[in-house]
A and B are shown apart, each in its own frame.
Chain A
Amino acid sequence: MLRFWEKRIKTGILTENLEFDRELEKIKKEIKDKIKKHFAGSLAIRMVDSGSCNACEAECNALSNPYYDLERLGIHFVASPRHADVMFLSGVMTMNMYLHAIDCYNQMPSPKWVIAIGNCVKDLGVFEKTYAIKGNDLKIDYYIPGCPPEPTEIIKGILEFLKTLD
């Protein structure tokens, strides 16, 4: 265990000083009120996969690793839609997930927003329409493109989304 702490101290803090931090610093005042008004100080996200290849989920998981550490910005993923402000939606929206995703959306307290993660949500990405794919009908408030979008792109996307709120 001692060796671990030695390594821990030598490694130091890895979280990268992404542009996001500086930009956030800049608009902090501006969005502070919004976050306070809409999100009670912190932004809670519920992730719903409606038929992706799992790459979008892997990238959202990566947001918690020491390089990105999303929670430092007061943005975190929650376990229940009832705790969420924002739904992250990924995937092509299959027949078998369609009603569950809508259920999940309905469980979220208002005000609520949907952010689309990845190309699949918008136009199925590389996939094509089949009998098993219904396509998304939830209103998308913000769209983060990519296949999958990289963690930095997702963070930037969240920031851009925050700017769109009034």
Chain B
Amino acid sequence: MKPASSNKISLALVAAAAFGLPLVMHSATYLHILILLYFYAYLTTSWNLVGGFAGVLPLGHSAFVGIGAYTSTILYLQYGISPWLGMIAGGILAVVAGLIIGFPTLKMRGAYFALCTIAFAEGLRVMVENIDKLGPFKLNGPRGLQIPPLDVGFVSFQFNSKVPYYYIILIMLVLVLILTHLIARSKLGYSLNAGGEEPEAAEALGVNVARCKLIAMVMSSFLTALAGTFYAQFTLFIYPKSVIGLDLSFEIAFIALIGGRGSIAGPVLGALLLRPLSDFTRIYFGDKLPGLHLVIFGLALVLVMIFQPRGIQEPLSRFYSKIVDRLGRKAIVEEA
């Protein structure tokens, strides 16, 4: 069996399993966990466009989550606009924000870029926490915004069961993965990777590195904002620390880094591994040992960065290839 086709088969199997799961499993709790898992995988994959492909370290991406969440929620609560349209509006606002913050900062050294993204996200959070009304828009400061669970239906993006949410975020995740795959195998992808690794050489080969990074930033901010709307509609309650917090920004970045930024599977693998770990430690040790899951997180980060800076997807994919290889050879031997 050739590796390429065996990859496609396993991907198809995984996709089938994911899509078929709600038909056989009805536990709302587990669906909830999976929904959040896909949510984080989506966020890390979108982050990867800037953090992985463009090679910089954005640590304030939750700002875009917040922009998406607040935009669609305000438009819905105050003007009755469907959150699906609000999603697009949020995405556009996020693009504008991404341009404003990206244009001056993407030229800077990596460390300074990281600091700028933090300052931007924290500045935004502080402002949202302190503004009750911005012109005609009610932001409600630290109390946040609540969406009353009265208007169920597709247009209002509200459902009584978790299953529709499951499919929506799963489809979003699949789409964003396909997009990432297409970009990686495109002129933009090659240019981004080159510019991230050796900017001077890339420029001499015709790559406008700063512009490519900006394009990546814009795409990433748009996609991230969409997830913000999803979160708002899923939890029906948003407040500054939940959607524009530094914790969220860091968590997204670290999951992607541990999984392996720059690769397509890395961020998803990171989410698959770390989210359950974090949920598990929080549920079982949360009361007796608060903060343990973050210690584990931090430890994982330090160890992975020291020993496998490209992320765990590298040893994992090598391991996977070995197994496929063995199975393939076994199949050939049995045929003979």
Q: Do A and B come from one complex?
A: no
* A interface residues (Cβ-Cβ under 8 A, vs B): none
* B interface residues (Cβ-Cβ under 8 A, vs A): none
